[in-house]
Amino acid sequence: MPRNPSTSPTRRKLLLGGLAGLSLAFGPSLAQAEFSDIRERGSLKVALYRANLPFSDASAQGGVTGVDAALAKALAERMKLGVQWLPFEAGENMGDDLRNMVWKGHYLGYGPADVLMQAPIDRHLISETRQAEFLLPYYRQRLVLLSHGTPSRDDLRTLALDGLALGAETGTAAAGALLGYGGGRFRAQVHMSTTGLEAARGVVTGKWPVAYVTQAQAETAIKGEADRASYVMETADLPGTPANGWVIGMAIKSGQPELAKAMAQAMKTMQDDGTLAAIWRDNGLTWLTP
């Protein structure tokens, strides 16, 4: 799955001043030509992570599904475009994903796309990636401790978790924070899962009493449970994780103000007519606005 940024994200609604901050590094004529190519093609090429539920899943026979897929499809429809999906596996770091799927393309000939979903709106990343523009933040990821029955909300809030098995996704900031907390206080208790959703489902199945995952993963795991109201999610910003979570948006190749403008107009329409809120509601999730 995509990684959360290592630094705290900006809280501005449209980073770099929104449309006014868009770079013209490639010149207006090339920018217009590229957007004209998209309109002539009649479809928007959308890059999203192949297995990143609840945001994207390209493994189902029914095609690409998830919040990001629904959002991208609705965005394209309002731009009077179809969608070409470019699902991909996460690279070693976010820089790899941006290079392969936004501004250059993979050396094996896959990509680039017109837009990448789930791009962290992060100052450090943006300053190091001049070839891409980051825009349209649409969600704030945040980490929570998920439990069912015991421990209580107060125990989660005070991190009274000694002796309890704790689930987390391997290779994430959440897992690292649990392993390193209090000089290794919980190290022997942490159990790794391939995905955060798997870690959250471990609470549902009784595999462990607590999981440290994103709220979206927690809500997806308990969706449809008859006793959903009895599950507890407590926000937890442990040392080593981004304070107040991190904002995600979209990324496009630099120098495409016409494309950025069309996307911004489409997104505003979706917010005004309730489409954005409906996408999260239909997926059983809380829309955590940036």
Q: Are 10 and 123 in contact (CB under 8 A)?
A: yes
What is the distance between the alpha carbons of residues 47 and 56, in angstroms, rounded to a whole number?
Answer: 10
Q: For 60-80, what is the mean pLDDT?
A: 92
Q: What is the CA radius of gyration of the chain?
A: 20
pLDDT in tens, 39-61: 999 999 999 999 999 999 998 66
Pairing of strands 210-214, 143-148: antiparallel
pLDDT in tens, 121-135: 999 999 999 999 999
Averaged pLDDT of the chain: 89
Closest C-alpha among 137, 107, 106, 105 to residue 119:
137
Tell me the C-alpha distance between 42 and 82, whole Å.
Answer: 6
Judged against a pLDDT cut of 70, whether residue 272 lies above it is answered with yes
Beta strands at 166-169 and 190-193: parallel, antiparallel or unpaired: parallel
Beta bridge partners of 147: 210, 232
> What is the predicted pLDDT for the residue at 31?
52
Give the separation between CA 12 and CA 24, rounded to whole angstroms: 21
Which pLDDT score is estimated for 60?
A: 66
Q: How far apart are CA 255 and CA 131, in angstroms?
A: 8
Q: Where are the alpha helices (DSSP H) in the chain?
A: 28-41, 67-78, 94-98, 123-128, 153-157, 173-180, 196-204, 215-222, 257-272, 275-282
The percentage of the chain sitting over the pLDDT mark of 70, rounded to a whole number, equals 88
Write out pLDDT tens, residues 97-150. 999 999 999 988 999 999 999 999 999 999 999 999 999 999 999 999 999 989
Q: In the structure, what pLDDT confidence band is assigned to residue 63 with cuts at 50, 70 and 90? A: confident
Mean pLDDT of 4-24: 35
Which among 188, 189, 185, 208 is positioned nearest to 198, based on CA atoms?
208
Q: What is the pLDDT of residues 151-201, one digit of tens each?
A: 999 999 999 999 999 999 999 999 999 999 999 999 999 999 999 999 999
Contact call for residues 97 and 58 (beta carbons, < 8 A): no
**Of all residues in the chain, what percent carry a pLDDT higher than 90?**
82
Model confidence at 213, in pLDDT bands (50, 70, 90)? very high
- Entry pTM: 0.87
User: Is cis: bond before 137, omega within 30 of 0?
Assistant: no
Mean pLDDT (whole number) for 207-232: 96
Distance CA 5, CA 3 (A): 6
